[in-house]
A and B are shown apart, each in its own frame.
Chain A
């Protein structure tokens, strides 16, 4: 270890030696917090409507507005915001947003959310659209708090769309860099030229899809096709479907609803897991041909169908459900898990081991790149498969030069390398997370099966939601120790931001000029 002399320290912390425009980045995080505080007006309105106290939301809103403004002021304006600052902004925006949300929960004074780590877990689970919950009695919360909890996922989803389609590609992370290279031509260039434009267009699509789902679900309730569905449920569940979130206002999640509602949610979960940029081109630009030509979408649909068929077979074989029920629950769980939504139409905790292993496997698949889904994502699996095939080919034919293509365009070797290393990081984090959960459970004397720990690590890193055992679809993460909760908070955060932007912050090369 090098000796830390005072001179060295001073040199280390002299601003000139730091290669990141820290203050500008911080300013942008502050601004995000400031704007987020306005979102708290929505639960305030709901609180007033249901004659519940609006103060937690107004209070949290006022505090976060003030803090956000202060940070923004403390930061620098007009500074250089480049790729490096981008990593910082992205990582800290999610931490800060979850902080605002946690503050709201703490101010509500609800017993279930009184512990700061619990409140922060629930908030991080919301803004990362995970859907894992520490609540033990969801229905005991006031409507306004429930609404805010659902809305946190919807807002998180908005952030993810911009992140996935406009921001991460610029940081050379994530799946969208593929889209940039695979879809040349003015149209996509225009889409990407300005983040703000891209964001507005895709948010419009996101909002439209949410409104359509609300209309359909509310319509099902209103026409008494599904009497268990009312306007509040329609709104709150639509708010967590499009962002592939999975929070529910019902203790039994989607099990509380009828078949028609469950099928509707299944379809919208599948839509939410598809690439938004692609959907934008197909629906708004009226070029449905792009859907048929997209390799990732094809694989995505095939995987969803295959998983549904396999689960149906298991359910029928073990005589758990029969007929339409088997297909419906298989489809719902398959789509919900693979798109990393995490709602449940039944308590799959009780399903046979084979089904559970299949579901855990789906947690590692994820949705399409450019969607709100988390996990590794279909396009990476697709390209990893192609890389593997090329490796095997080159074992036999060492001189063969193979270009790996996606949608018929060659994919840059650097992107392929990034995909391989991302997947390694992902699996590595999953293993470390599982180990920490197992060791910690042992330490505090929590009865945790290995499969439960595996599911908990996979579900939080993949932003899915429910795990197995105590934290199953109808259960809660509340029994886990504070340390385990912190581990899972970190996993959610890392998984949501595609790991790399956060990891680089811990590297010396990142901070060096």
Chain B
């Protein structure tokens, strides 16, 4: 691993248990901090140097993660790695969308590339698409979506809440994976009901997830007027993602040059040259009437202030992009609805790729109490070739399977086959058992 910043530290935290990790960084202080917390080897040096890479044991390693904050260093490191150890997989972190584009066109010899801005933008757009969602993630190239919803007062009269699941009008291509009631997790049986105050985890197609969102949201209006504070790289990436969803977007940016650039880039977006911290401005432009606000400025404290101010002005849903690890908690405690840490998001992406090759993807829900796994079924598994109806329930639920690249939302008569990718909702404690069983 090259780079021991926030992304690096998060990745190390997730990987150090099951893997031998060597961290390279120029800053000895950071390395020491990491070495104190985790069982990792550290090397002080430049990652974009062949000697350092060899010293770090690149030749014997399976995976190189280049996640410094500098794109070019990361790329050079990956190129050196490919030359020195062609068998070693490479992951590159980038902030530059053009690099990402080039990589997608297969012009960059890197195994995986991840952009903080883009991942953040996708996270924001997923949340805004589903206003009632606490958390959401996608699997199988976006064909399968997992959403955790709050069931709040006023979300009745939709045929889902308070009705036994057998009779409930569950949207097509979706499944209730679990009901979280207080500290307990309830596996959904036919006679179970979803009650107000529960949290439900849904696995289904993105379309079904949207229908769920409408059914469970107290406000059935779509979030269609979104204000973004800050037109930096992240702000613009978020704007792009939202505009692509067909939403009406407004951007507030204090820097005149950047405001102009943004106006030129997005024909349909209204750009204001303002700080967004001026109550008079917020009042005049009726920012309070917007359905959601995204705070994507550089400074966490400013984001915090602006978000609180917008709340005062009536913005009902606030999403803040946070940069310091500690900020997430502060923001959520202060009443900001969602705080997204780009470094956290990036680290999660990297961890997913670095994980067990059989397990494609892991998402944590409710802190780390629950996990969504994406596991490929072995031929010798006891569950292989069994119809879903006859499968014993052991604290886990298969929400969807991916067969030949196509997502299937299985019914009782469908049969699980060897080679299928199963998307499973389970308690974290049982994750290892589930993985072994399949």
Query: Do A and B make up one complex?
Result: yes
**B-contacting residues of A (Cβ < 8 Å)?**
397, 399-403, 405, 408, 410
Q: Which residues of A contact B284 (CB under 8 A)?
A: 397
How far apart sit A401 and B231, CA to CA, in the bound complex (Å)? 13
Whether B285 lies near A399 (C-beta < 8 A) is yes
Show 24 residue pairs from A and B whose CB-CB distance is below 8 angstroms, ordered by the A residue: A397-B272, A397-B284, A397-B285, A399-B252, A399-B273, A399-B274, A399-B281, A399-B285, A400-B270, A400-B273, A401-B256, A401-B259, A401-B260, A401-B262, A401-B263, A401-B271, A401-B272, A401-B273, A402-B271, A403-B264, A403-B267, A405-B267, A408-B267, A410-B264
* A409 to B, closest residue via Cβ: B264
Whether A399 lies near B272 (C-beta < 8 A) is yes
Whether B264 lies near A400 (C-beta < 8 A) is no
Q: Which residues of A contact B264 (CB under 8 A)?
A: 403, 410
B2 to chain A, nearest CB (A): 39
How far apart sit A62 and B264, CA to CA, in the bound complex (Å)? 56
Interface-central residue, A399, A405, A408, by most chain B CB under 10 Å: A399
B261-283 vs A, Cβ < 8 Å mask (1 yes, 0 no):
01110010011111000000100
A173 to chain B, nearest CB (A): 24
* A411 to B, closest residue via Cβ: B264
How far apart sit A410 and B262, CA to CA, in the bound complex (Å)? 11
Q: Which residues of B contact A399 (CB under 8 A)?
A: 252, 272-274, 281, 285
* B276 to A, closest residue via Cβ: A399
How far apart sit A405 and B259, CA to CA, in the bound complex (Å)? 16
How far apart sit A399 and B260, CA to CA, in the bound complex (Å)? 11
Q: Which residues of B contact A397 (CB under 8 A)?
A: 272, 284-285
Query: What is the number of contacts between chain A and chain B, taking CB atoms within 8 Å?
Result: 31
Chain B, interface size: which category? Answer: 10 to 19
* A413 to B, closest residue via Cβ: B260
How far apart sit A408 and B266, CA to CA, in the bound complex (Å)? 10
How far apart sit A408 and B268, CA to CA, in the bound complex (Å)? 11
How far apart sit A10 and B273, CA to CA, in the bound complex (Å)? 53
A222 to chain B, nearest CB (A): 53
Whether A400 lies near B267 (C-beta < 8 A) is no
Q: Which residues of A contact B273 (CB under 8 A)?
A: 399-401
Given contacts A399-B272, A401-B260, 13 further A-B contacts (CB under 8 A): A397-B272, A399-B273, A399-B274, A399-B281, A399-B285, A401-B256, A401-B259, A401-B263, A401-B273, A402-B263, A402-B271, A408-B267, A410-B263
Whether B274 lies near A403 (C-beta < 8 A) is no
Q: Which residues of B contact A401 (CB under 8 A)?
A: 256, 259-260, 262-263, 271-273
Q: Which residues of A contact B263 (CB under 8 A)?
A: 401-403, 410
A37 to chain B, nearest CB (A): 50
B231 to chain A, nearest CB (A): 10
Whether A400 lies near B260 (C-beta < 8 A) is no
How far apart sit A399 and B262, CA to CA, in the bound complex (Å)? 14
How far apart sit A405 and B264, CA to CA, in the bound complex (Å)? 8
A398 to chain B, nearest CB (A): 8
How far apart sit A128 and B215, CA to CA, in the bound complex (Å)? 71
* B259 to A, closest residue via Cβ: A401
A459 to chain B, nearest CB (A): 39
How far apart sit A155 and B262, CA to CA, in the bound complex (Å)? 46
How far apart sit A408 and B267, CA to CA, in the bound complex (Å)? 8
Q: Which residues of B contact A410 (CB under 8 A)?
A: 263-264
Q: Which residues of B contact A403 (CB under 8 A)?
A: 260, 263-264, 267
B414 to chain A, nearest CB (A): 48
How far apart sit A402 and B284, CA to CA, in the bound complex (Å)? 18
How far apart sit A355 and B284, CA to CA, in the bound complex (Å)? 46
Q: Which residues of A contact B259 (CB under 8 A)?
A: 401
* A408 to B, closest residue via Cβ: B267
B202 to chain A, nearest CB (A): 40
- Residues facing A in B345-393 (CB within 8 A) are none
Q: Which residues of B contact A400 (CB under 8 A)?
A: 270-273
Q: Which residues of A contact B274 (CB under 8 A)?
A: 399
Q: Which residues of A contact B256 (CB under 8 A)?
A: 401
How far apart sit A408 and B274, CA to CA, in the bound complex (Å)? 25
* B250 to A, closest residue via Cβ: A400
Interface-central residue, B252, B260, B264, B270, by most chain A CB under 10 Å: B264
Interface-central residue, A400, A401, A405, A410, by most chain B CB under 10 Å: A401
How far apart sit A29 and B205, CA to CA, in the bound complex (Å)? 73
B279 to chain A, nearest CB (A): 14
How far apart sit A399 and B270, CA to CA, in the bound complex (Å)? 10
A403 to chain B, nearest CB (A): 4
* B281 to A, closest residue via Cβ: A399
How far apart sit A237 and B273, CA to CA, in the bound complex (Å)? 56
* B263 to A, closest residue via Cβ: A403
Q: Which residues of A contact B270 (CB under 8 A)?
A: 400
B302 to chain A, nearest CB (A): 17
B121 to chain A, nearest CB (A): 21
Q: Which residues of A contact B260 (CB under 8 A)?
A: 401, 403
- Residues facing A in B226-264 (CB within 8 A) are 252, 256, 259-260, 262-264
How far apart sit A399 and B273, CA to CA, in the bound complex (Å)? 5
How far apart sit A408 and B264, CA to CA, in the bound complex (Å)? 10
- Residues facing A in B83-107 (CB within 8 A) are none
Q: Which residues of A contact B262 (CB under 8 A)?
A: 401
* B260 to A, closest residue via Cβ: A401
Q: Which residues of A contact B272 (CB under 8 A)?
A: 397, 399-401
3 nearest A-B pairs in the assembled complex, by CB-CB distance: A410-B264, A399-B272, A403-B263
Q: Which residues of A contact B267 (CB under 8 A)?
A: 403, 405, 408
B302-326 vs A, Cβ < 8 Å mask (1 yes, 0 no):
0000000000000000000000000
How far apart sit A410 and B263, CA to CA, in the bound complex (Å)? 9
* A402 to B, closest residue via Cβ: B263
A401 to chain B, nearest CB (A): 4
How far apart sit A410 and B259, CA to CA, in the bound complex (Å)? 14
* B278 to A, closest residue via Cβ: A399
How far apart sit A401 and B261, CA to CA, in the bound complex (Å)? 10
How far apart sit A218 and B108, CA to CA, in the bound complex (Å)? 64
How far apart sit A225 and B260, CA to CA, in the bound complex (Å)? 59
B24-66 vs A, Cβ < 8 Å mask (1 yes, 0 no):
0000000000000000000000000000000000000000000
Q: Which residues of A contact B281 (CB under 8 A)?
A: 399
How far apart sit A397 and B286, CA to CA, in the bound complex (Å)? 11
How far apart sit A194 and B210, CA to CA, in the bound complex (Å)? 56
A415 to chain B, nearest CB (A): 13
How far apart sit A410 and B252, CA to CA, in the bound complex (Å)? 19
B392 to chain A, nearest CB (A): 60
How far apart sit A85 and B73, CA to CA, in the bound complex (Å)? 49
A149 to chain B, nearest CB (A): 49
How far apart sit A82 and B45, CA to CA, in the bound complex (Å)? 54
A127 to chain B, nearest CB (A): 40
Q: Which residues of B contact A405 (CB under 8 A)?
A: 267
Interface-central residue, A400, A402, A405, A410, by most chain B CB under 10 Å: A400
Q: Which residues of A contact B285 (CB under 8 A)?
A: 397, 399
How far apart sit A399 and B256, CA to CA, in the bound complex (Å)? 10
How far apart sit A397 and B274, CA to CA, in the bound complex (Å)? 11
How far apart sit A405 and B281, CA to CA, in the bound complex (Å)? 26
Interface-central residue, B256, B263, B273, B284, by most chain A CB under 10 Å: B263
A39 to chain B, nearest CB (A): 46
How far apart sit A399 and B274, CA to CA, in the bound complex (Å)? 6
A242 to chain B, nearest CB (A): 36
How far apart sit A403 and B262, CA to CA, in the bound complex (Å)? 9
A345 to chain B, nearest CB (A): 43
B239 to chain A, nearest CB (A): 14
* B266 to A, closest residue via Cβ: A403
Q: Which residues of B contact A408 (CB under 8 A)?
A: 267
How far apart sit A401 and B273, CA to CA, in the bound complex (Å)? 6
B196 to chain A, nearest CB (A): 42
